Amino acid sequence: MNSTSATGRNDPCPCGSGKKYKRCCLHADRGSGPAPRHGEPVPDAIADIFAGIHSQLEGRQFSSKAEVSGVMATLMDQQQSRPIDDFIGLRSADMHALLHTPFDAPELIDVVAVLDREPKAPAMTLLDAISEAIGEKCLLATQTGNLPRALCRELFEADLIPEAIDPYRLMRMPIRSESDFHELGSLRHTAEFAGLIELRGKRFVRTERLKRAQRLAGNRAVYPILLRARAVEFNWACDDALDELFIVQQAWPFLIFLLQRLVVGRTSSRVVEEAFIRAFPAALNEVAYPSQEQRHAAVARAVTIRGVLRFAALFGLIEVTRAQPDNPYDETYWLKPTPLLHDAVRFGPAAPTFRP
């Protein structure tokens, strides 16, 4: 039983795509998965795994299918245990844990339960304002169960949100309801998902969970609860009119990993967008645009709006400023790390510590 192939892994793919065999149809020809659509590359990380296995099998003789299966399983484990450049040095197993079990992998990632210092974040400023308005008793909600219009106007006019996070805020004036103040509305929903506030009948109240956390360590204990809820409970795609692209939210731990590794001093948001798309190139196939350039732009925009602005910046992990504030069509931002970026989420010894 011989595993040699007529086409070398670095040869042009016989499908005519013009790409190397290992970047196109190699894994499909070896029976390892579905073939990509004509002319579309296999993601680099996956292609490299199968190319590595192919190179180690090439020319070897096997006496049975059982022997082939055993060797394949061993080689697959070895390939998945190696660092991958597109994952910024993470292994495939690490990425799987970040995407699917981030709260059950303490050797890899730890979302701190109590911060070492007081969190400075727009999200906490809004939560404090809501909590203060509720007071010890309650806050009367509107007929639709939203925060009262007077409070929304007051907080909007207080400029609690940096302009870069909401560059179109002035277009929504005057504030007629909570829905006109996106960050406030989304934060209120996040706090409810976190079990920190609750709508009982027609009144908002502070929950026992919020009171316990405040007694324990004030906002140092409240912030991690709110951050977790924002990461996994609140739907990032609920009202931004972009493509669904669930991977942007699912990969929130990897996004923080990218920010910790790539954002040093003043860094362009384009750097983070490109690194994210390199790690998840299949996301380009989830948007319905005819050209690769349009698909790339759509995914990049979702990463920046949902991940960078409305998650990382809103929760004070980074500071953001517009790269060209006088150009409303330019969506490039300068990113700067804050102490919270490394204090709130810590990557353990299983995560690579080098910076590419």
Residues sharing a CB contact under 8 Å with residue 214, sequence separation 6 or more, in sequence order: 221, 222
Q: What is the pLDDT along the chain (356 residues), one digit of tens a residue?
A: 443 345 666 666 655 445 565 555 554 444 444 444 434 444 455 565 566 666 666 777 777 777 767 766 665 555 544 556 788 889 888 999 999 999 999 999 999 999 999 999 999 999 999 999 999 889 999 999 999 999 999 999 998 998 888 866 666 678 899 988 989 999 999 999 999 999 999 999 999 999 999 999 999 999 999 999 999 999 999 878 889 999 999 999 999 999 999 998 899 999 999 999 999 999 999 998 999 999 999 999 999 999 999 999 999 999 999 999 888 788 899 999 999 999 999 998 767 664 44
What one-character-per-residue DSSP string does 115-138 give? -SS----HHHHHHHHHHHHHTTS-
d(CA 193, CA 239) in angstroms, rounded, equals 17
3-state helix, strand, coil in the chain (%, to 5): 50, 10, 40
For 179, phi then psi, to 5°, come to -65, -20
Check residue 3 and give its pLDDT.
39
Q: Is 30 exposed, middle or buried (0-12, 13-18, 19+ CB in 10 A)?
A: middle
Cβ atoms 147, 188 nearer than 8 A: yes
Check residue 49 and give its pLDDT.
58
d(CA 58, CA 10) in angstroms, rounded, equals 13
Q: Which residue, chain included where needed, has tokens 């499909």? A: 28
Tokens of 116: 């070492």
The identity of residue 123, as a single letter, is A
Check residue 326 and give its pLDDT.
84
pTM of the model: 0.78
How many other CB atoms are found less than 10 A from the CB of residue 292? 10
For 36, phi then psi, to 5°, come to -70, 160
Among 279, 305, 280, 277, which residue's Cα sits nearest to residue 293?
277
Check residue 79 and give its pLDDT.
52
Check residue 74 and give its pLDDT.
65
Residues sharing a CB contact under 8 Å with residue 280, sequence separation 6 or more, in sequence order: 43, 247, 251
How many residues are given for the chain? 356
Residues forming a β-bridge with 140: 203
Check residue 354 and give its pLDDT.
45
